[in-house]
């Protein structure tokens, strides 16, 4: 049923940008924020960030508009390994316009499919800032078949302040 809700295509330039981002070699935290161009009915790049902290990323999100995010961060494992998971997050504030919520929710599946994110895990977490966070997909940059979830601490840092 949700497949029939698709209303927006994904900009080809954004698809290429996200492919490059997915396989980047940098070891810093980075993010891409995407929005929907209502007139063109297209998911487009809003902003790209390098060396962005979780706090700074949270501050960049609009308070009353949905956004799609792709976030790559450094994760230290207990055994000493370091990985760089790539997280796809859908942020949809409860107090945004219903038309916006429907447009973003309907386009989410199309975006995930276009970006070839095959292992999708979805969570809904209400937080005090009236954000509903959906963690859709997490993958390490260099090991595409292993699923790594974002630590709860990261999500709490990102959206609870």
9-65 pLDDT, tens per residue? Answer: 999 999 999 999 988 888 899 999 999 999 999 999 999 999 988 778 888 888 888
Residue 152's pLDDT is what?
A: 43
Alpha-carbon gap, residue 94 to 6, rounded angstroms: 20
Mean residue pLDDT of the chain comes to 73
123-142 tens-digit pLDDT:
334 333 223 333 333 333 33
Domains contained in the chain, CATH given: 2-159 (3.40.20.10)
Burial label, 88 (beta-carbon count in 10 A; 0-12, 13-18, 19+)? buried
DSSP-assigned letter for residue 4: G
Q: In this predicted structure, what is the pLDDT of residue 48?
A: 96
């Amino acid at each position: 049923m949700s497949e029939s809700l698709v209303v927006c295509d994904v900009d080809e330039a954004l698809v290429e940008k996200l492919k490059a981002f997915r396989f980047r070699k940098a070891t810093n935290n980075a993010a891409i924020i995407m929005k929907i161009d209502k007139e063109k009915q297209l998911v487009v790049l809003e902003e790209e960030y390098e060396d962005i902290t979780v706090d700074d990323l949270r501050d960049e999100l609009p308070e009353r508009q949905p956004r799609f995010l792709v976030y790559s961060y450094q994760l230290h494992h207990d055994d000493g390994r370091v990985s760089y998971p790539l997280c796809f997050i859908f942020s949809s504030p409860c107090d945004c316009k219903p038309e916006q919520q429907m447009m973003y929710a309907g386009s989410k599946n199309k975006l995930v499919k276009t970006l070839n994110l095959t292992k999708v895990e979805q969570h809904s977490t209400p937080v005090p800032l009236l954000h509903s966070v959906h963690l859709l997909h997490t993958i390490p940059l260099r090991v595409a078949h292993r699923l790594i979830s974002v630590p709860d601490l990261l999500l709490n840092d990102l959206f609870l302040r």
